[in-house]
Amino acid sequence: MIFARLATVVGAVAGVATVVAQSAFVNQTTCNGKQYTYQELVDYGAISGDASDEFGDTIGGIGSSLAIDRSIPVVLWALPDRGWNMEGTLNFQPRIYKLDILFTPEPSATVANQSGNNLFFTYKETVRFFGLDGTPCTGLGADPMGHLSFASFPDLSVATYTGDSFGNVGPGGRRVPVDAKGLALNPDGSFWVSDEHGPFSAAGLLIAAIRPVDAMIPMRNGTESFSADSPPFYDNKGAGDDVFPANNPTGRDNNHGFEGLTVTGGGNALYVLMQAALNQEGGTNKQTEWQTRLVEYDITVPSAPQYAREFVVPLPLYNDPTAKASKNPKVAAQPEIFHIQDGQFFVLARDSGAGHGQSSPLSVYRHIDVFDIASATDIKGSV
Ligand SMILES: *[C@@H]1O[C@H](CO)[C@@H](O)[C@H](O)[C@H]1NC(C)=O
Ligand SMILES: *[C@@H]1O[C@H](CO)[C@@H](O)[C@H](O)[C@H]1NC(C)=O
Ligand SMILES: *[C@@H]1O[C@H](CO)[C@@H](O)[C@H](O)[C@H]1NC(C)=O
């Protein structure tokens, strides 16, 4: 496994210009014979904090994953995670925003004279996600136990809510929870979403789902338990735990699912990367969660993904200046990957809990790193 680092990129959305004098680059790295150069930040832009979509919901954060539809005009697809969930999870219907982007690179900008705010977004439309029986999906956390069963699908996790799901009188309900983290577009307008679901049709209807390998399934008391211990807002603003034990001893760690999702250029292979290690492999501790799993699925037949290969990606380490020496180094968990070419990937490994409004404003590790699987060991089926 080759693991190299590319320099820090600052800003919400960054691009790398192609024509710049050699001397002008910010940083450079070589990964298994391929050289990557970070030349400059060419663009950045923002969406107004009070913007709302066609259903009247605030657009808020759009960054849990982005994908570019390269048809003309170019359209940006953006995943708003599972909606606002700072005080417990909400019965927000997970969705995608489509935005027109106006991008005017400034080739004359240099490292010393970086581009201004010249990336502009115009909201177009929203595609909301529905379970395969047409019931809306939800941003609420999964139940401690139980699942929904549909013919020819693997069992899907379920979120059961009471009342109207916002603390008022209502009939209650059961919905497929989607904590959407990764996004890739298919040529027919359908799209893949992780962490546990996908693909969805162009209209947002779930049309297939992948059950990950058994080692990844969260277990409590020897039983499948998809809860990520994320109680709803209506239950005391999400305070406390809604499952015991709060940390599942094995399988994906709470809220550390398939954050990275990417499809190869030819559309034949889908890769998903866990945010950090599984719990039986060190996942409950910031110092030990560095060996995370990358799974390859053959999607030549998109409706029938085949588990093809599996690898271990060692995540980078960093020293948190606010932590005791005994708590360092920490693992830079990852929220996004991108397949570049020939088995090489970008991964956005980063620290967390730093930035304006946090206890420490300084983020000490925020990179686009590169890794290569050409000579990595395939661990498919071995654990
Ligand atoms: C390039 O990035 C590496 C890794 O972060 C760093 O050690 C090095 O100092 C950087 N080089 C330059 C020229 O900034
Ligand atoms: C910075 O770059 C812009 C073009 O992007 C140019 O108009 C401006 O003159 C440059 N400023 C300096 C100080 O070089
Ligand atoms: C696991 O077992 C404990 C002790 O019996 C129980 O309190 C808890 O609810 C169980 N958790 C699940 C998810 O079944």
Whether residue 5 lies inside any domain: the answer is yes
* Beta bridge partners of residue 227, listed in sequence order: none
Whether residue 40 lies inside any domain: the answer is yes
> Measuring from atom 5 of ligand 3, which residue has the nearest CA?
221
**Positions of the chain with pLDDT lower than 70, given as ranges:** 1-23, 105-116, 196-198
CA of 221, closest atom in ligand 3: 1
Q: Cα–Cα distance between 3 and 367 in angstroms, integer? A: 12
Compute the C-alpha angle 10/64/312, nearest 5°: 90
Is the CB–ligand 2 distance for residue 57 below 6 Å? Answer: no
pLDDT at 4: 31
Query: Does residue 208 contact residue 154 with C-beta atoms inside 8 Å?
Result: no
Whether residue 68 lies inside any domain: the answer is yes
Closest-CA residue to 32 (of 243, 240, 358, 344): 344
pLDDT at 107: 62
* Beta bridge partners of residue 318, listed in sequence order: 330
Is the CB–ligand 2 distance for residue 106 below 6 Å? Answer: yes
Whether residue 258 lies inside any domain: the answer is no
Q: Give the residue, out of 217, 220, 241, with the most ligand 3 atoms within 8 A of its beta carbon, to mutate for a pocket test.
A: 220
Closest-CA residue to 378 (of 333, 343, 335, 336): 343
pLDDT at 355: 87
CA dist list (Å): 332 to 272, 282, 290: 17, 14, 8
Q: Cα–Cα distance between 246 and 334 in angstroms, integer? A: 22
pLDDT at 18: 39
Q: Cα–Cα distance between 173 and 201 in angstroms, integer? A: 24
CA dist list (Å): 103 to 117, 118, 248: 10, 6, 45
The CA 213 to ligand 3 mean position distance, Å, reads 24
pLDDT at 111: 55
Query: Does residue 269 contact residue 304 with C-beta atoms inside 8 Å?
Result: no
Whether residue 33 lies inside any domain: the answer is yes
What domain range is 19 assigned to? 1-80+95-123
The CA 146 to ligand 3 mean position distance, Å, reads 13
Written as one string, the DSSP assignment of 246-267 is SS-SBSSPTT-SEEEEEE-TTS
Whether residue 233 lies inside any domain: the answer is no
Token pair of 295, please?
Answer: 């799974």
The CA 107 to ligand 2 mean position distance, Å, reads 10
Cβ density class 204-242: b for 16+ within 10 Å, e for less: bbbebbbebbebbbbbbeeebbbbbbbbbbbeeebeeeb
pLDDT at 104: 75
The phi and psi torsions of 371 (rounded to 5 degrees) equal -135, 165
Token pair of 166, please?
Answer: 């916002």
Q: Cα–Cα distance between 157 and 148 in angstroms, integer? A: 6
Whether residue 8 lies inside any domain: the answer is yes
Count of domains for the chain:
1
The CA 36 to ligand 1 mean position distance, Å, reads 13
pTM exceeds 0.75: yes
pLDDT at 21: 47
pLDDT at 280: 98
Whether residue 104 lies inside any domain: the answer is yes
